[in-house]
Each structure stands twice: as structure tokens, then as C-alpha cells.
Amino acid sequence: MSTTTHAIAAPGPGAPLEQTTIQRRDLRPDDVLIDIAYAGICHSDIHQARGEWGEAIFPMVPGHEIAGTVAAVGSAVTDYRVGDRVGVGCMVDSCGECEYCRADTEQFCVKGNVQTYNGVGFDGENTYGGYSKQVVVRDAFVCGIPDGIGLDVAAPLLCAGITTYSPLRQWGAGPGKKVAVVGLGGLGHMAVKLAAAMGAEVTVLSQSLKKQEDGKRLGATEYYATADETTFDVLRGRFDLILNTVSAQIPVDAYLGLLRVGGAMVNVGAPGEPLSYNAFSLIAGNKALAGSMIGGIAETQEMLNFCAEHGIGSDIETISAADVNTAYERVAASDVRYRFVIDTATIGA
Ligand SMILES: [Zn+2]
Ligand SMILES: [Zn+2]
């Protein structure tokens, strides 16, 4: 048994997205039915809908930045009630028993976390994401959205927010620390807001100075153009932490040169081609080159609470269902400040 809900789907790799209907399962005892209000458009939605990340499941309903309200709960759900404001991010299930699940890092589940869309659940059913009016999710993978944050500006926190919050926390962004954020896009603008709220001194490293005013408004104290070669001399040895949000080739050695001794550069962007670096760029200064993948559910809740305390949401452009394909073109062209959010009331309307 299942119920029918309206959704926006890519029928095949690279095909324009179109409106359709999908089935959502009937509630199991630990399930939550969510009326989705807003769904953010993440760059990874576009890669997957276009089949750029290898094998994928079509039709695909993307969307892993989901915010809405609880419409119904299963008989065993105690943490959520009808009407609660909730969000769902990049995963909807994991084994719950392995060492990583037990350590609240479900994203590294040894059986594989179940992705919110373009995934297969432990029941063998394909998963469909947030470009939809309703979704059914196991309670353990639902987060509460505090009252202080609008659902529209909260939606992107579920991916862009946690993807940047987690490495900033892990690598000690805070008072007395100098943090550089590479790239001022969907991820970068969240990284600037969060690092500044954590008390770090934030510098944006962007290709040009085009978004300098935005960067300062978001919380950066300095802003440099990486197209200007002198930037890498001026800032040599400056940063404790560099968070690279760019999904493109960058001269890694040049960036590692901007770190203090013992500093770390953490990648959350994922370029299609391998990055290369000289080992001495790390050895000569005990530096670290690292990566980070979203965050666990407990940390995602911590991030949402932190955002509510500090009045942080995503900067968004709200669009209707009819605008999704245009929005994809604009995201691919880096023409959005800083996240598109689909008003799901316009789906199936
Ligand atoms: Zn994402
Ligand atoms: Zn597990």
C-alpha cells in the first residue's frame, strides 16, 4: 500500500525535469510523514539528474534539502508530533548497528547510508527526494527545525549547512582562528556565516572581487581574488584552516602555502578530475589535506540549533516548480545568490 504525491522528476539522465506523481509508502511504526514546504536545489542534484556521477536511478526525484511540517506519525514515534517543523537532509536510513552508526556518524555506515534520493532502501525500494509535496522518512533521520528559522531559509541548511558546519567544528574554527573559505557559492556562503558565528576571523578567497560586498555582509572581514597572483604572496602562512568549497581544479600547492604550520585544508567540493599536490607542501609545515562529508544526524540537529541561536539561514531565491530547469542552468553557471529553494505549493498546482 502507498499514497500518491506530486513531484518533479528527471525522466532520464540530462532530460528536462517535469512534473509527475510518485508513490510514498504507508507509515511503518517508526515513520514520519512530512508535508514538504520547501526543497533546496543542491549542485549535486544537478550532477545526479544529468547522470554525471555514474550509474543513477531514473526517473529521479532529486532534493535532499527538505523542510516542512509533520503530517502524521507511525505508532512508535515519540520524538515528533503532527505540526512539528522538521527537516530531512542527505540520508534517510542506515544500519544503526555498525561502529560508525553507533558513533553518530551514520553517513559512514559500513552497509552504506540510504541516500534521500537516487538510492535504494533496505526494503529494496528506490528512494525519491524532496522535489515533492510529501515524503515518508524514518524518525531517526528527521531533524527538528527550531522556531527561530523560517522553513524556506532552513531547507538549504540540511545539506549546505551541515556540509560546512561539520568540518568547521572538526577542525576547530572559533575565536582566535583564521579561516579561509574558498569559493562563495551555496556552500561557501554558508561556511562564511557559520565560521563567523563561531567566532573565527573569516577571509573569502574567490576568483574575482565580484561578490566582495556580499562576502563582507555575510561575515567575512577580508576578501581576496585568487585570479590575482599577489594574493598568494600577501596571504602566505596566514590561515589555521582553509575550507575549499570549489568543485573545480585549483592549484593545491599554492593554497597549502597559505596555511600556518600545523594548519589544515579541508575539501568539501568535488572536482571531476583528480587534484594533485607536492608532498613537501604538507611535510614542510606539518600540514593536513583532508575531506569531509556532510555530518551525522545528531550533528545536523546541533547545527540547526546553532543556526537558530545565531539567526542564521541560507540566502535564497524562492522559485516555483515551473522554474526548476532554468534554475538548474543558472546553478551550473554559478548564477544564484546563494541557493534556489522550490516552493512545493507550486508542485501539482
Ligand atoms: Zn547537497
Ligand atoms: Zn551502520
**Mean pLDDT confidence for 11-39:** 97
How many angstroms does the Cα of residue 329 sit away from the middle of ligand 2?
36
How many angstroms does the Cα of residue 63 sit away from the middle of ligand 1?
8
**Position with higher pLDDT, 101 vs 53:** 101
User: Is-contact 252 275, C-beta < 8 A?
Assistant: yes
Alpha carbon distance 178, 242 (integer Å) = 9
The predicted pLDDT at position 196 comes to: 98
**Mean pLDDT confidence for 6-22:** 97
**Mean pLDDT taken over the chain:** 97
Identify whether 338 is preceded by a cis peptide bond (ω within 30 of 0).
yes
**Mean pLDDT confidence for 129-134:** 98
Ligand nearest to the CA of 293: 1
How many angstroms does the Cα of residue 294 sit away from the middle of ligand 1?
8
**Mean pLDDT confidence for 317-337:** 96
Alpha carbon distance 86, 67 (integer Å) = 6
**Mean pLDDT confidence for 175-193:** 98
Residues 51-86: pLDDT tens digits?
A: 998 899 999 999 999 999 999 999 999 999 999 999
Q: Is residue 120 very low, low, confident or very high in pLDDT (cuts 50, 70, 90)?
A: very high
How many angstroms does the Cα of residue 269 sit away from the middle of ligand 1?
11
Domains of the chain by residue range: 2-159+295-346, 161-291
- pLDDT of 1 above 80: no
Q: Spelled out in words, what is the top-level CATH class assigned to the domain 2-159+295-346? A: alpha beta
**Mean pLDDT confidence for 322-328:** 98
How many angstroms does the Cα of residue 160 sit away from the middle of ligand 1?
6
The predicted pLDDT at position 162 comes to: 98
The predicted pLDDT at position 35 comes to: 98
How many angstroms does the Cα of residue 75 sit away from the middle of ligand 1?
31
DSSP designation for 120: B
Q: Which CATH superfamily is domain 161-291 in?
A: NAD(P)-binding Rossmann-like Domain (3.40.50.720)
SS3 308: helix
| Cell numbers standing for residue 94 | 542506515
